[in-house]
Structure 1
Amino acid sequence: MSINRMALTLRLSNRWSLVALARQDVVRRLRVAAGLVVAATMLSACSSATELWDKVTQKDDTFVEQPAEQLYNEGLFLTNEKRDAKGGAKKFEEVDRQHPYSDLARKSLLMSAYAYYQANDYDSCIGAATRYVTLHPGSADAAYAQYLIAASHYDQITDVSRDQTRTEKAIAALEEVVRKYPTSEYAVSAKAKLEAARDQLAGREMNVGRQLLQKRNYIGAINRFKTVVTQYQTTRHVEEALARLTEAYMAVGIVGEAQTAAAVLGHNFPDSPWYKDAYNLVKGGGYEPTENTGSYISKAFKKLGLG
């Protein structure tokens, strides 16, 4: 081998040796870096675990237990004096939470329902009052708790053009007051609210019935007015319902029911302007208001002693 070729071979050998060394150095550095990352991750995990354990085991210095009497009196003060009913409700709830077996716990549960009602937080009132009735059904204050449930639904009743779910819930709760606690002082108020709530549902039926009548959907309208006559005879809407039934039945040619509707209207509400309209409709068709005692209209009023 020539001297020049030997020199070239030596230079190439040295170069590849340097490259190999460089690669080994890079690999070493990567391994060190990876090791550091793993170590850091483990340390971080250990640190997080330690912090979590500390949080679980450490004492919460922010909670300070207070006597039941103090919490209860603070609740009364906030509700009655400061007009901060929601703040008062929270204090009453603390009595139940911190002293669940104390004499004031039961009373505080009812007071929290009352305070929420005063704050117009009806859902919270219903929740607290329902819990009271469930836990203490035989209590002397159970009637008031049930009344608070009913009143909370009642106060959320919307106008007749909107959904009447709250009205239906109010009626069910008010009926519960009257049924379970008929001699309580709340039964009288419940009955008054009950009539108003029923009047609301009758108003909804009348509202829909009028719209159907205007569209000449007479059968649909009759069904709505029929509901008022058979289910809500004691409401202020029944006079108009009878007159509208007269109108709808005359329109579809069911004269007998039209005559009965007009006759029942005249018998029970002789001075009603609605009777004058019904009478004129029947007379205009060549008939007289005549009651058919076998009609559902006649039976609905005889059932109440009004026929």
Structure 2
Amino acid sequence: MVSDRFRTALRTAPLAALLAVPLAGCSTFDSINPFGSGEKYETKILAETPASDIYDQGLARLQKKDGAGAAKKFAELDKQYPFSDWSRKGLMMQTYANYQAADYDTAITTGKRFYQLYPNAPDAPYALYLQAMSYYQQIPDVSRDQENSAKALDLFQQIVTKFPTSEYADDSKFKIQVTRDQLAGKEMSTGRFYLNRRNYTAAINRFREVLAKYQTTRHAEEALERLTEAYLALGITGEAQTAAAVLGHNFPDSPWYKDAFAKLQADGLQPNEDASSWISKVYHKAVG
């Protein structure tokens, strides 16, 4: 414990005298101060790795099927050479490497960042395509939520609209049909669920979505047949006849039309299209 007399001496001693007193306890300070151990540290400037070398190292890892390692290498370009062409190339390759590594969420993030920073770059459509494919690879079966299908569809449509002459446009058009079919399948699955439980109004709403949004998919035929069935169950014969008539007009050889026709006949009815029906308006407008 420091005595009162020593405290008084410290307060009254001239500053020059205190500065002249050697630090007798420096060895004690060194023992508790990690920076006072007497070691000498030299400041070294590490040589900067050329951007081309980092890029080549990333490519080498890709060749070895090490997508995750390649992505890390390409990420170094953005850190060491920000706002440069190498940074742009690295970000694009980082997206590709993440996709190859099946790290789809990260590929979506880096691809989105690339497109936001370089929307007019030659690789911009590829950035959109990799994002779309990352969602596409995560599409589940129709019994589950189809959020990834919807996001993939949106991105594929952007490619076709904004970059119609790009090398990714044709494949995007094909995958638009696949994702639309998936989304229609989800609506049909839910509609059948309601139909089986005799919740006809809810079922009709789902089948209506198929006709309004996904009428060019393979599910349109079944949707029209299911509408015939649901409207007959509700006693709304005019709409049932219209659904069957539209089905027969557009898909005369469809087994779904045969089923719809048989259901109408069982009730003493025939297909008969009412031009004022929402089915006639929505279907023909959508197809046209």
Report if TM-score (shorter chain) is over 0.5.
Answer: yes
Write the distance in 1 (CA, Å) between the matches of 2:127 and 2:171. Answer: 14
Residue in structure 2 matching 1:271, options 223, 237, 253 = 253
Partner of 1:3: none
Matching residue's letter, 1:130: K
| Structure 1 residues 16-31: aligned runs within 5 Å | none
Q: Using the TM superposition, give the Cα deviation of residue 101 of structure 1 relative to its aligned residue in structure 2, in angstroms.
A: 4.1
Question: Aligned AA for 1:87?
Answer: G
1:128: Cα distance to partner?
1.2
CA distance in 2, matches of 1:160, 1:153: 15
- TM-score, reference length from structure 1: 0.79
Distance 1:253 1:224 in 2: 19
The 3 A distance-change label for structure 1 pair 303 and 89 is same
Query: Alpha-carbon deviation of 1:102?
Result: 3.9
Equivalent position of 1:70 in the other structure:
53
1:261 maps to what in 2?
Answer: 243
Q: Work out the CA distance in 2 between the residues paired with 1:58 and 1:219.
A: 79
**Superimposed CA distance per residue, residues 243-298 of structure 1 (whole angstroms, 9 cap, x where no aligned partner):** 00000000000101100100011111111100000001111111110111111211
How far apart, CA to CA, are the structure 2 residues paired with 1:92 and 1:47?
A: 40
Q: Partner of 1:39 in structure 2?
A: none
Q: 1:80-117: CA deviations, max 9, x gaps?
A: x2111111111111112112244322111101101111
Q: CA deviation at 1:64?
A: 6.1
RMSD: 2.5
Query: Given that residues 109 and 132 in structure 1 are in contact (C-alpha distance below 8 angstroms), is that contact kept between their aligned partners in structure 2?
Result: yes
Contact 2:177 2:217 in 1 (8 A): yes
Which residue of 48, 64, 81 corresponds with 1:82? 64
Tell me which protein shows more helix as a share of its residues: 1
Q: Distance in 2 between matches of 1:64 and 1:116?
A: 28
Residues in 1 aligned to 2:160 and 2:98: alpha-carbon distance in whole angstroms: 23
Equivalent AA in structure 2 for residue 92 of structure 1: F
CA distance, structure 1, for counterparts of residue 42 and residue 187 of structure 2: 62
Which deviations, in whole Å up to 9, do the C-alpha atoms of 1:39-86 show, x marking residues without a partner? Answer: xxx979x737x58xx9xx98699x76311011101111110x211111
Amino acid at match of 1:117: Y
What corresponds to 1:182 in structure 2?
A: 164
The unaligned stretches of length 5 or more in structure 2 are 2-27
Q: From the CA coordinates, give the structure whose radius of gyration is larger.
A: 1
Q: Is the Cα contact below 8 Å between 1:228 and 1:241 reproduced in 2?
A: yes
Counting aligned pairs with the same residue, the percent is 52
The answer to whether residue 224 in structure 2 is matched with residue 242 in structure 1 is yes
Partner Cα distance (1:305, 1:285) in 2: 30
How far, CA to CA, are the matches of 2:140 and 2:43 in structure 1? 49
Q: Deviations over 1:171-192 (max 9, x none)?
A: 2212211221122121111111
- Please tell me whether the aligned partners of residues 263 and 290 of structure 1 are also in contact (alpha carbons under 8 angstroms): yes
Q: Deviations over 1:226-255 (max 9, x none)?
A: 111111101111111110000000000010
> Do the aligned partners of residues 170 and 58 (structure 1) sit closer, same or farther apart at CA in structure 2, a change above 3 Å counting?
farther
Do the aligned residues in 2 keep the contact of 1:249 with 1:258 (CA within 8 Å)?
yes
